[in-house]
Amino acid sequence: MGEEKALWIYQQLLDRTDAVLQQCSGDVHIFYAGGAATEFGNCFQRFPKTKQQGSDLGERMEAAFRWGFTQGYPKIVGIGTDLWGINQSLLEGALSALDGTEVVFGPATDGGYYLLGMKTLQEALFRDKVWSSDRVLRDSLNDLVSKRIALLEEKSDLDCVDDLLLYPDLVSRLHAHFNPTPKK
């Protein structure tokens, strides 16, 4: 695919996530990895940002959830920026699910999850996992056998080129951007 196209897709994912988060009635806080918060360009401008802390994905997620609970939030939903199928009703559904459960997952087709929500910090979810494996969701569910859990609709996040093919609208936009129709 190439670095330029991959970067373009990443920007589209950021833009889509930002547009959905702009509609949220609750508080939004961005936890990011990598360089400076200013590197988001026009995305996430109205939201406070904190650099992620931790050496692996589990530690970084745990730190973000821990921060939220110490701030007094009664329910927290965390998402990544690699879900083209994100929308407002998905986030609202996750928050609503937490009214009757302790944890909610958005299962990913690759065996992981694209969304995690909880009402209290479930530390076991962030420990002893092989992140980015097809066992993450299954292992996480095993950690919570005594808890009430909700599962949202299974969706495919974008981890590789094959995942991109599941979103023809994004593929069409990609082709149109890099192969514009000549003007007559």
Q: Kindly report the average pLDDT of the chain as a whole number.
A: 93
Helix and strand totals (H; E) in the chain = 6, 6
* Phi, psi dihedral angles at 76 (to 5 degrees): -135, 135
For the chain, percent of residues with pLDDT exceeding 90? 80
CA distance 24 to 28: 8
| Conformation bin of residue 34: beta by default, left when phi > 0, alpha when psi is -120 to 50 | left
3-state secondary structure of 78: strand
| Conformation bin of residue 112: beta by default, left when phi > 0, alpha when psi is -120 to 50 | beta
For residue 57, the Cα-to-chain-centroid distance in whole angstroms is 12
pLDDT digits (tens, 9 = 90+) for 44-87: 999 999 999 999 999 999 999 999 999 999 999 999 999 999 99
- Burial degree of 46 (CB within 10 A; 0-12, 13-18, 19+): exposed
pLDDT digits (tens, 9 = 90+) for 112-155: 999 999 999 999 999 999 998 999 999 999 999 999 999 999 99
DSSP, res 23: T
Look at residue 21 in the predicted model and tell me its pLDDT.
97
- Which of 27-36, 102-111, 136-145 has the weakest average pLDDT? 27-36
User: What band does 42 get if pLDDT is binned at 50, 70 and 90?
Assistant: confident
DSSP, res 123: G
CA distance 114 to 4: 25
Q: Does the pLDDT at position 180 exceed 90?
A: no
In order of their start, the domains of the chain are 3-178 (3.90.550.10)
